[in-house]
Chain A
Amino acid sequence: EAEVAQSPRYKITEKSQAVAFWCDPISGHATLYWYRQILGQGPELLVQFQDESVVDDSQLPKDRFSAERLKGVDSTLKIQPAELGDSAMYLCASSLGRGATEAFFGQGTRLTVV
């Protein structure tokens, strides 16, 4: 069964360090999302790609976060420098694209900033 792959599953980093997360969506899925989920809350959208283009990054803290999906397939989310408040689960999801209602989520990367 096709899955959204994310790595690493867990990451511990010191504040002010750089950290990166990787996501490989389901093959053929044009839309890719990065969400941040704080414990006990719902996922919050950070950035959404349609193929290689960013279509929504209004909630992405652009002074420290960046995301790319250069070839319209896999994607990387980077934080530099990491802050204590960045500790959260970072979820990647993908969907077929426009008009698709079902998004498939990966297992997420649990980030702890110390």
Chain B
Amino acid sequence: GESVGLHLPTLSVQEGDNSIINCAYSNSASDYFIWYKQESGKGPQFIIDIRSNMDKRQGQRVTVLLNKTVKHLSLQIAATQPGDSAVYFCAENKDSGYSTLTFGKGTMLLVSP
């Protein structure tokens, strides 16, 4: 079946380090992949997305890499800060006309000062 999943449930880093959160997907038909950040007690917040015909996209302190050969997605956060501590979800978006979002299970990022 179709699935979007994560390799690591928890990632602990020191403040100032770079963080890499990984995600594996199995549905090659997805048009977009999106990363969301969810802080405790809040709804998910959009971070960055990447279209399936791209392999890299950069934002402010974040970079998303897409490797379609191995169906792997990663989120890199530069100079990780305590405020980055949250659960990160990758999601896929099939542009079937209705932008259906399917989420993976999430990785918790813990940043120590």
Report which A residues bind B (CB closer than 8 A).
Answer: 4, 31, 33, 35, 40-45, 48, 50, 55-56, 91, 93, 95, 97-108
Chain A proximity mask over B18-39: 1 for CB below 8 Å, otherwise 0: 0000000000000010100000
Interface size class of B (residues with CB under 8 A): 20 to 34
Contacts of A101 in B (CB 8 A): 32, 34, 49, 93, 99
B43 contacts the other chain (Cβ, under 8 Å)?
yes
Question: What number of residue pairs across chains A and B have CB atoms under 8 A from each other?
Answer: 63
The residue that B103 contacts in the complex, of A31, A43, A95, with Cβ under 8 A, is A43
Contacts of A98 in B (CB 8 A): 95, 97-99
A102 to B102, CA, bound (A): 13
Chain A proximity mask over B26-64: 1 for CB below 8 Å, otherwise 0: 000000101000000111111001000000000000000
Report which B residues bind A (CB closer than 8 A).
Answer: 4, 32, 34, 41-46, 49, 89, 91, 93, 95, 97-106
A10 to chain B, nearest CB (A): 10
Is there contact, CB below 8 Å, between B102 and A103?
no
A41 to B91, CA, bound (A): 13
Is there contact, CB below 8 Å, between A45 and B44?
no
Contacts of B4 in A (CB 8 A): 42
A99 to chain B, nearest CB (A): 6
B66 to chain A, nearest CB (A): 14
Name which of B4, B32, B99, B102 has the most chain A CB atoms within 10 A of its CB: B99
Query: Which chain B residue lies CB-closest to A104?
Result: B46
Is there contact, CB below 8 Å, between B98 and A31?
yes
Is there contact, CB below 8 Å, between B105 and A95?
no
Is there contact, CB below 8 Å, between A56 and B103?
no
A102 to B46, CA, bound (A): 7
A103 to B103, CA, bound (A): 12
Is there contact, CB below 8 Å, between A41 and B105?
yes
The 9 A-B residue pairs whose C-beta atoms are closest, nearest first, are: A105-B43, A42-B103, A55-B98, A101-B49, A101-B32, A102-B46, A43-B103, A105-B44, A42-B105
Is there contact, CB below 8 Å, between A44 and B103?
yes
Query: Which chain B residue lies CB-closest to A100?
Result: B99
Is there contact, CB below 8 Å, between B100 and A43?
no
